[in-house]
Amino acid sequence: MYPEKLTTHLEALALSSRAVAAMFRYDDREKATLDYELADPLGESRHAVAGRAVHQYPDRLLVHVTGRCAAHCRYCFRRSGVHRACGPLDERETGLIQDYLKGHDQIKEVLLSGGDPFTMGTDLWEYLLDGIRQARPDITVRIGTRMPVSDPVRFEDNRLIQLLADHGVVWIMTHINHSDELTAETKASLERLRKNGLSLANQTVLLKGVNDEVEVLARLFTTLVDLGVKPYYLFQGDLALGTAHFRVPLSRALAIVNELRRHVSGLAMPVFAVDIPGGGGKVPLCPPWLGAPGKKGWPLTHPDGHTGFYPEEKDGPVK
Ligand SMILES: *Cc1c(COP(=O)(O)O)cnc(C)c1O
Ligand code: SF4
């Protein structure tokens, strides 16, 4: 069971936005799980290193810096994950990450993920960023966060903004799915980050009944570009337990994405991708990585050579 959790900001927004309510309000359909849905849909546990890190691609290290989120997205692919119960990294765990980064020259980017890293207090941020920079002054830091949507006042903390600005190249990877989430407060937090020198990119999850329409996605992506945020990935839904009602059949998803390209600029167009179910990495959903669907579903081939299948699912009613 994944408890319902919303911030005061989202409680208010869910009253006026159906899309926000659908993303954050518990729904009884979550009780229905399918036999091919997975507790660890990305197979992250297969590549676990240094305690709480995932080293799947040679040049990138993903670190689960905390399991906590300010609010719980109902479609979350880590909703049943082992990391969800963890609090922030402690000193020993930060030390393990430092040692791992020092010992692996090939790592060029460290991705701070979670949970939501910005649920961590500012003192912990100082400790973590100092630690990473001490170990590796040369690498790019990426921070994945939904906080500009769930609790935008977090970015009114001047000390936090200053820390982020003072630790070399830092990319903030936001997670925004619908233009209803772009409230005045959320826009202000993005502007604050941008004006303080942070680079901004966004990841969106394609969600049935939330953003599975060309106009909805076009409005979101063009607004993000206007805010200085590059739409980076649009993800097909992962096969997380109890999330079937959020998934768009892949054939319809591809039609939406093809049509979208006619309506937005190249800058506003994200890469449509999916993680190979069960592990193997992220694959762009276009040839030659995506093959023609057969009995087992859609064949996927990662640029690294890993293969897998994504099912073609039925398009049930939205409500
Ligand atoms: C998504 C992901 C990355 C980053 O992949 P990009 O395609 O560079 O954004 C790195 N490590 C893991 C384990 C990931 O899941
Ligand atoms: S913010 Fe990310 S990790 Fe947290 S519940 Fe939402 S999707 Fe999951």
Mean pLDDT of the chain: 95
Count of domains in the chain? Answer: 1
Q: Which pLDDT score, from 0 to 100, does residue 83 have?
A: 61
Q: In percent, how much of the chain has pLDDT > 70?
A: 97
Residue 299 lies in a domain: yes
Instruction: Kindly indicate the confidence band of residue 45, based on its pLDDT and cuts at 50, 70 and 90.
Output: confident
Q: For 126-160, how does the pLDDT look when each residue is reduced to its tens digit (9 = 90+)?
A: 999 999 999 999 999 999 999 999 999 999 999 99
The closest ligand to the CA of 273 turns out to be 1
For residue 212, count other CB atoms closer than 10 A to its CB.
Answer: 19
Ligand 1 atom 8: residue of nearest CA:
60
Residue 1 lies in a domain: no
Whether the per-residue pLDDT at 319 is higher than 90: the answer is: no
Q: Which pLDDT score, from 0 to 100, does residue 148 have?
A: 98
Residue 319 lies in a domain: no
DSSP characters over 183-226: -HHHHHHHHHHHHTT-EEEEEEE--TTTT-SHHHHHHHHHHHHH
Q: Which pLDDT score, from 0 to 100, does residue 76 have?
A: 94
Residue 317 lies in a domain: no
- Per-residue pLDDT, averaged over 270-277, amounts to 96
Q: Which atom of ligand 2 is nearest to the CA of 75?
A: 7
Which residue in 142, 151, 135, 133 sits closest to 69, CA to CA? 151
Residue 249 burial class via C-beta count within 10 angstroms: exposed 0-12, middle 13-18, buried 19 and up: middle
Residue 316 lies in a domain: no
- Per the structure, the complete domain to which residue 150 belongs is given by 8-310
| CATH number, position 82 | 3.20.20.70
SS3 category, 235:
strand
Instruction: Kindly indicate the confidence band of residue 78, based on its pLDDT and cuts at 50, 70 and 90.
Output: confident
The pairing of strands 199-205 and 230-235 is parallel
Instruction: Kindly indicate the confidence band of residue 82, based on its pLDDT and cuts at 50, 70 and 90.
Output: low
* Helix (DSSP H) and strand (DSSP E) numbers for the chain: 9, 12
141-145, 189-193, 275-279, 297-301, range with the lowest pLDDT: 275-279
174 within 8 A of 145, measured Cβ to Cβ: yes
- Per-residue pLDDT, averaged over 227-241, amounts to 97
Residue 239 lies in a domain: yes
- Containing 23, the helix (H) or strand (E) segment is helix 18-24
The closest ligand to the CA of 66 turns out to be 2
Which residue in 165, 120, 171 sits closest to 143, CA to CA? 171
d(CA 299, CA 295): 10
d(CA 291, CA 281): 16
Whether the per-residue pLDDT at 277 is higher than 70: the answer is: yes
Residue 274 lies in a domain: yes
Which residue in 168, 179, 234, 178 sits closest to 201, CA to CA? 234
Q: Which pLDDT score, from 0 to 100, does residue 318 have?
A: 58
DSSP characters over 50-113: TTTEEEEETTEEEEE--S--SS--TT-TTTT-GGGG--S--HHHHHHHHHHHHH-TT--EEEEE
Whether the per-residue pLDDT at 314 is higher than 90: the answer is: no
State the distance from the centre of ligand 2 to the C-alpha of 70, rounded, in angstroms: 9
State the distance from the centre of ligand 2 to the C-alpha of 262, rounded, in angstroms: 30
* Ligand 1 close to Cβ of residue 111 (< 6 A): yes
Whether the per-residue pLDDT at 317 is higher than 80: the answer is: no
* pTM metric for this prediction: 0.96
* Ligand 2 close to Cβ of residue 116 (< 6 A): yes
Residue 2 lies in a domain: no
Q: For 83-128, how does the pLDDT look when each residue is reduced to its tens digit (9 = 90+)?
A: 677 899 999 999 999 999 999 999 999 999 989 999 999 999 999 9
